[in-house]
Chain A
């Protein structure tokens, strides 16, 4: 496993530093993380790397990546995604995005449909249905995260807090500072309503697409899976039991098997 920093331009006199996790061997897979970012010793990436050559960039505001002031709207994130893929010299990788990362991945496939042949969206953000309002994660308090994001908070709760205790004020202070950095970036796509027009562009996606959803997702209702497949020409959805919004972490093997199936 390696971590490397990509230095990318963000226009005249402006730059991004992008911290990229790379591991494993096999077909190239570009993974875009959700609003919570990658986790320490990320267990999903570790499992993925047994089957794929995994490239997982951290967006500005996450980890050591910087340059978040240059990111303002959807097109900035979408083009940054392609700039990262170019800097990594990836040719038609399997493109996978979780939650906010799924929103960005779908936009990348819509803006450059001939560059993506296989796309996997893991409970992606990006659409809005009045019948199923997306929960406001920005007003949620950290102690509420486990029950909001997980099917089984007891089993997987430690993942979100890296083993810390959200009821401990000192731990919470440090967490809030990092959480604020992350969600400052995420808010540019997701606040106050996570719809930046993706729905009107999804028709352009040519990639064979799988939309995977946790059946217990309380952040973005599984009803959105059908909405994505309705709007995309070549997509199928798979609902997975015993998983919440943190689907790739709660049902890692099922997700990876689906990705292997998609690749083949």
Chain B
């Protein structure tokens, strides 16, 4: 099993009446709610937490990309990963990822990811998301009906830029480069590539054709993810590929305490903050027309766009969130049991552990992180023994002795 400690980096100071007074946490939330001086401390706390996770033996530490979003303060994940690259020496740097259609020209992604891979000694996991509609279309202005074509072209350019040893001309529809020439090259050729997906057949097939890791990054937990992941595994079988659980990843909110009761007492308010405040997204921003294919839309259209649904500000309770699997919470025994159910049920080898939740303060976050690392992770390590040697989907760093400077800094 591979465990990646993930921090979304939410803004913890949204007002109590946020849902009543503001229509969305994303896209048009005013920056008057942000305070850069508090932000200074916050970024440093969040980076401390990621570094702490490495020291406890998490396989990866993870960052991602969002724009105009108060629960995801990383418009540039590569800046965070660069900072972590110098302060860590063992964990994979899981950048999940760069929304490649947003970079102009997208060879920028090839270059920056290569830099991260080289600085870290080959520890980069490279994520290539399309990006949510909120990020890609509304905040970054990409035309919804052209986003996927642009993504596919950017992907082709990046892979080729990593592969070729000579400059080449790239005549794309969206990017034209007479001299495509990626300096530096990544250490890994290529780094493991993770693709966040939301259930479309096209994304399943894209991952299988390229042996990329399919990642379902939902906040709604493992019980609701079953149908989608079953669809993926069915597609894996149909494609005649092996069923390695390392072909898949899943994000799960997890909080650990000494007992179930203590978990509720200590974490309830932070879970409430995340699910009932941070996830308040205006439905008009959720799915720009053309962002999803019509085929996917027909299968997944929701009724969140009625007047009644938009006006509904009712909250999800702790019991509901825990019972329905949105959150795995409790003592180490409880968490181990539920994690096993999730890992076998979804057949996943990569878990993105969302252990920092909402407005959780540092000391609570470190405690939960430590309990998971010491009392949960070791009891899940040996799952999927038949795939114990499957290293196709994980990092291949250069050996430690060959790495320069890194250990001295991180060990200081």
Residues of A bordering B, CB below 8 Å? 68, 72, 138-143, 166-169, 172-173, 176-177, 179-188, 191-193
Contact = CB atoms under 8 A, between A and B. Distances in A.
Given A176-B297, A177-B297, A167 B143 contact: no
A191 B303 contact: no
A141 B289 contact: no
Interface residues of B, number: 27
A184 B141 contact: no
B284 interface: yes
B77 interface: no
Interface of B: 27, 137-138, 141, 143-146, 173, 282-285, 288-290, 292, 294, 297-298, 301, 303, 305-308, 310
A186 B288 CA distance: 12
Nearest to B28: A139
Contacts of B289: 138, 179-180, 182-184, 186-187
A167 B305 CA distance: 9
A184 B284 contact: no
A191 B137 contact: yes
A211 B298 CA distance: 39
Q: Chain A interface secondary structure, helix, strand, loop or mixed? A: helix
11 contacts: A72-B173, A138-B144, A166-B307, A167-B306, A176-B297, A180-B292, A181-B294, A184-B145, A184-B289, A184-B290, A188-B146
A186 B310 CA distance: 25
A188 B143 contact: yes
A182 B306 CA distance: 20
Contacts of B305: 141-143, 172, 176
Contacts of A143: 305-307
A186 B144 CA distance: 10
A74 to B, nearest CB: 12
Contacts of B145: 68, 184-185, 187-188
B265 to A, nearest CB: 38
Contact of B298 (A177, A179, A192): A177
B301 A192 contact: no
B294 A141 contact: no
By CB atoms of chain A within 10 A, which of B173, B282, B305, B310 has the most?
B305
Given A138-B137, A184-B290, A185-B145, 9 more contacts: A138-B289, A139-B288, A142-B305, A143-B306, A166-B307, A172-B306, A177-B301, A188-B143, A192-B141
B303 A169 contact: yes
Contacts of B294: 177, 180-181, 184
B288 A187 contact: yes
Contacts of A173: 301, 303
B374 to A, nearest CB: 46
